[in-house]
């Protein structure tokens, strides 16, 4: 009866693979979700010089790089 341990091993392997796959897919999905959220949050770019103003305070009236007035 050699088949039983091999079958058990296979089932275990498939289970482990399934869990690992599920975990990695879950991690990937949450990572994508995070990126989507952070992208949707505030994407501000100066229309004049094109610099990223995302890290600047939200209430700035002028672009700190070129002085362009922000709408
Ligand atoms: Zn600018």
Model pLDDT, residue 41:
61
CA distance 65 to 51: 8
Compute the distance from residue 41 Cα to the ligand 1 centre, in Å: 20
Compute the distance from residue 49 Cα to the ligand 1 centre, in Å: 4
Cβ atoms of 46 and 70 within 8 Å: the answer is yes
Model pLDDT, residue 2:
67
- pLDDT exceeds cutoff 70 at 1: no
- pLDDT exceeds cutoff 90 at 67: yes
CA distance 64 to 15: 55
- pLDDT exceeds cutoff 80 at 7: yes
CA distance 29 to 10: 28
Compute the distance from residue 55 Cα to the ligand 1 centre, in Å: 14
Angle at 28 between CA 22 and CA 34, to 5 degrees: 135
Model pLDDT, residue 42:
61
pLDDT tens-place string over residues 13-56: 999 999 999 999 999 999 888 877 655 566 789 999 999 998 88
Could you please report the per-residue DSSP string of 42-70? ---B-TTT--B-TTS-TT--B-TTT-PBP
């Amino acid at each position: 009866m050699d088949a039983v341990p091999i079958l058990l091993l296979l089932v275990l392997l498939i289970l482990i693979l399934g869990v690992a796959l599920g975990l990695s897919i879950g991690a990937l999905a949450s990572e994508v979700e995070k990126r989507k959220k952070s992208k949707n949050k505030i994407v501000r770019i100066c229309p004049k010089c094109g610099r990223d103003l995302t890290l600047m305070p939200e209430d700035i009236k002028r672009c700190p790089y070129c002085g362009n007035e922000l709408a």
